[in-house]
Chain A
Amino acid sequence: MEKGSEMSGQQSLLIIQQMIETAKQEQKDDGKAWIIWGWMLFFASLTTILNQHFRWGGTFLFWNIFGIVSLLLAFISIGKRLFVKRQHKVKTYTRDLFNKLNIGFFISLMFIIAGINLGISPMIGFPLLMNLYAFWVLIYGAVLNFKPSYVGAIITWILAFGCLFVHRFELLMVFHGTAVLFGYIIPGHIANREFRKLQSRPPNQV
Chain B
Amino acid sequence: MFKELDPILHSQLRLAVMSLLISVKEAEFTFIKEKTNATAGNLSVQVQKLKEAGYIEVVKQFKDNYPLTTCQITKKGIEAFENYVKALQGYLNTDN
Contact = CB atoms under 8 A, between A and B. Distances in A.
Interface of A: 1-5, 7, 9-13, 15-16, 18-20, 22-24, 26-27, 85, 89-93, 96, 203-206
Contacts of A9: 2, 88, 91-92, 95
A90 B36 CA distance: 14
What is the interface of chain B mostly: helix, strand, loop, or mixed? helix
A13 B27 contact: no
B83 interface: no
A23 B23 contact: yes
Given A20-B22, A24-B23, A91-B26, A7 B31 contact: no
Contact of B16 (A26, A27, A91, A206): A206
B58 interface: no
B88 A19 contact: no
B23 A1 contact: no
B35 interface: yes
A102 to B, nearest CB: 17
A71 B35 CA distance: 37
Interface string B10-49: 1111111001101111111011001111100010011000
Contacts of B28: 89-90
A90 B26 contact: yes
B88 A12 contact: yes
